[in-house]
Structure 1
């Protein structure tokens, strides 16, 4: 992967947590969030890295970075990161002590570090290293009043260049956080 000294600017093509593509403006990465099932009992999603397929990863087969399975009535369900086990979302993304709001939660990533997503007052999601408070990623919604574009949602997931190995976990945890906020969980 080419290093530019720039973060990954992943444009969220739809801005919806029900499915979207996240395409880096410099064509270094392309993720896809696909809804695979929706019925009365659960809603399931898979996150794929389409850029690895284009580069010939694993014989061209799509290997999920993460799977998300929400329960009935928008309840939290389970998340599976890569080849790991299915884990309850409420356990994977735990509330941060000292924050009364569910809009700040932390998770332990595959690199062993804890990261924290927090919804800012301006509606932007910030992910930081929970120990060092170092900035890792930001999800920016389209500013209010900005016109609709036919080819873009106006939303952007920005991941610092040092964290491409966590991008599947960052996107999965962000989807869960946005789901928690959308459904007041």
Structure 2
């Protein structure tokens, strides 16, 4: 039997609900957990990094599932158009259109690039590879960084949702950036922005 270090296995975050406003992203090997929260009537989506499986925390305290400061805030306009992205730890904010820019002026809104916290440029594209709903690569397409896959309709549901965000080992240091940019991309798609 060949043993593999968890450092060489991709982060596989199960997206519990596939909703862009309230869901949990839990790694199947319990290495990292995120909770995405948007309160009813609010325009701010908060992304929290959790110390335990986010779904356990949500089930334990339905009124206040999280404590502490979010790692990223996504503030949309009241009409759901793009607003501001904020990183409380570094006390920086910028317009989402500046953070996640279209690849070309006349190009698709569903293909955009962003500069992550590591200073490198990455890009998202919609259904550019077979069996991947969303694909993130390095700006020059030399490396596959992450991909988001929805559960195929014919797949039975057991204890998992079947929706997953897979982040490859060399890019786990930007997991929060990848998650935030994915949520914005999915928001752009959902609202035809």
Report the equivalent of 2:50.
Answer: 50
> 1:36–1:85: structure 2 CA closer, same or farther, 3 Å change rule?
farther
**SS class of match (1:176):** helix
Report the equivalent of 1:140.
Answer: 149
What is the CA–CA distance in structure 2 between the aligned matches of 1:132 and 1:123, rounded to whole Å? 16
Contact 1:76–1:90 under 8 Å retained in 2: yes
Contact 1:37–1:44 under 8 Å retained in 2: no
Q: Give the number of the structure whose residues are more often strand, by fraction.
A: 1
Contact 2:132–2:148 under 8 Å retained in 1: no
Gaps of 5+ in 1: 55-60
> Residue 125 of structure 1 is aligned with which of 124, 130, 134?
134
1:91-110 matched pairs, under 5 angstroms: 91-97=98-104, 100-110=107-117
- TM-aligned CA deviation for residue 91 of structure 1: 1.1
- TM-aligned CA deviation for residue 83 of structure 1: 2.1
Contact 2:132–2:147 under 8 Å retained in 1: no
What is the CA–CA distance in structure 1 between the aligned matches of 2:33 and 2:147, rounded to whole Å? 17
Contact 2:84–2:95 under 8 Å retained in 1: yes
Report the equivalent of 1:115.
Answer: 122
What is the CA–CA distance in structure 2 between the aligned matches of 1:154 and 1:108, rounded to whole Å? 29
Q: What CA deviation, in whole Å up to 9, does each residue of 1:75-129 have, x standing for no partner?
A: 1111013424221111110000277211100001111100101011556101011
Q: Which moved more, 1:91-100 or 1:5-14?
A: 91-100
Query: How many corresponding residue pairs?
Result: 174
> 1:125–1:99: structure 2 CA closer, same or farther, 3 Å change rule?
farther
Q: What CA deviation, in whole Å up to 9, does each residue of 1:124-163 have, x standing for no partner?
A: 101011035311111001113334x364332000011222
Instruction: Tell me if 1:19 matches 2:22.
Output: yes
Instruction: Tell me if 1:68 matches 2:74.
Output: yes
> Residue 34 of structure 2 is aligned with which of 19, 31, 34?
31
> 1:33–1:126: structure 2 CA closer, same or farther, 3 Å change rule?
same
- TM-score, scaled relative to structure 2: 0.81
Q: 4+ residue runs of structure 1 moved beyond 3 angstroms?
A: none
